[in-house]
Structure 1
């Protein structure tokens, strides 16, 4: 199965395929582009670009179509297939690096484009596959790409693109490893990615890698060290785009909240809002911020309020985000439910907390994520 040319399920659906699904759903509902623009508050031009594939259709767009057309989110992605099967079939297929090595060619633009798309597709696969199942896939991809960079010949321009791909894939490997409970492996991957990003002259990507490591440290290490690292990542990321800056600042928020620095957390939450509101259709964001939207920002704010001892502020933010989340993203839904349950537990609403954590446990079934399992168990102990 060639995942670089075939739309096999929503996690690796091509932009043009998703746009076509959005267009068909709108037309079947009898709604014009102008009518949909009024319902969603997005411009008619932007909606047209989403439907033709000229602009990437992100989850927030799909949710908006769902609400405006009164149809399930899942139906907008077309037929669903089992993401675990996709991951396993992917594991058995040749990577672009292996294909190149078999032919012994000098690396050109086409091969690099395949590698870059492969990283994008793997990142999307992470939306629906737990770290324990996806880890073998991404580990192998990074190892093959690392060998390719060391052994193949290529131009300086191609070399920089390959280093960026190594950096982005290293970030994904770190994220997946952390989700699978391999924290030392995650740290190695993040730091390897930083080295590649720096060599490529991509400070924004280096900042993303360092802030990803700070996020892990805030969760399982020393929050004070995590805070220092997160702030360093923001300072070192030069000329970063608005949404990317919002993501880096979110990691500062979380580390500050875990370190119980209330003032810094509050100030940085405001900076996250300011950065996100500064986004523009004319500013190209890196692909690795594709998942950042208002709901995700609200989730982080809610989590920070819980850490700061103000759980009553968290529940409305978390519940609204969960209601708009795609059910195929079982890990994220379950994780967010654990924080919602914690917010109720810490305000004394134990019965409601039990109901929510029970739902989270159900959503977590079949998701091979050590991070999720640990969170569910922690909150279950809280509501005993």
Structure 2
């Protein structure tokens, strides 16, 4: 017997049964995976070729061009936000949001531990400190009740500023992330931010096409960020946007993302440190074509989510993660949650799904577990840790809902 065979451990009958029923449920919904199904892949079935070719034919491929202007108008129109500023990616959009929120080096920013690393990295770019907070199990967003109780013990308002009693550092902002496209409890977040003198920023990177009580995400924070990465519903290859209803913040966002250059016929004059964060025209062209088809893609993604919900409705051992009450989710990524007593078998299920050709993954490693963030301040994270151990994302491409 070779070494690898000797080390292989039988997962046991309970794990094997769980793997079998989940793979069978996914196979019954998606059919046999002749070729491996990606977790989420882009769909190019509109005028993407036409618009990109127009950029190549005219030579307008960089950060100035008609498609950049158009995508900003189209994003604002679709989301209902008054202003959208197209950026090179979602992380740069978050970076600008934090700068516009007045976050300085040494300040603390409340962010969920259950988030993609871009949320924490953007805080670090300013040399501010991520302060990790708990999530709740319905939306996977920030648990406002627990956070409020935590702040009452940990923070105080001094001259209109929220201050950490232990570190003495100002706590400037609260970033609410809409996980997998499911809107967080935004009314409660707005109320908490107002009472604790925090700037509310929405990390809406995953929630284009998601609504909270009929209003699109990104409209509740003072400023918000979108992502158009290759795995998002709408992609520009790489890209993002800053959203705001404040005209002065919009002006500042555009100025900062355009290297803080002052208007002049030929001189290069800059009045502060700026960033080369504008979206190129060729990427915007791709996004304009994608946005034309967004309603249809959202409809198919909701159809897929409904089928997943039905497939797991009577399945023992796991439940489908549905949109919170009062919201309409884009279901960017569909997810199931294993029963608490079956969390130890998560990786077994992931292995079985991927071996069968169904691209699946766990949720991100919680931020406080990463070496560069393990010493950052944090509250109790029991729910986030439980959900990290039990969540599994399933194939979610729009074409699967057709």
Same-fold status (TM-score > 0.5): no
Q: Which TM-score band applies after superposition, normalised by the shorter structure?
A: under 0.3
- Structure with the greater alpha carbon radius of gyration: 2
Q: Which has the higher strand share?
A: 2
TM-score normalised by length of structure 1: 0.28
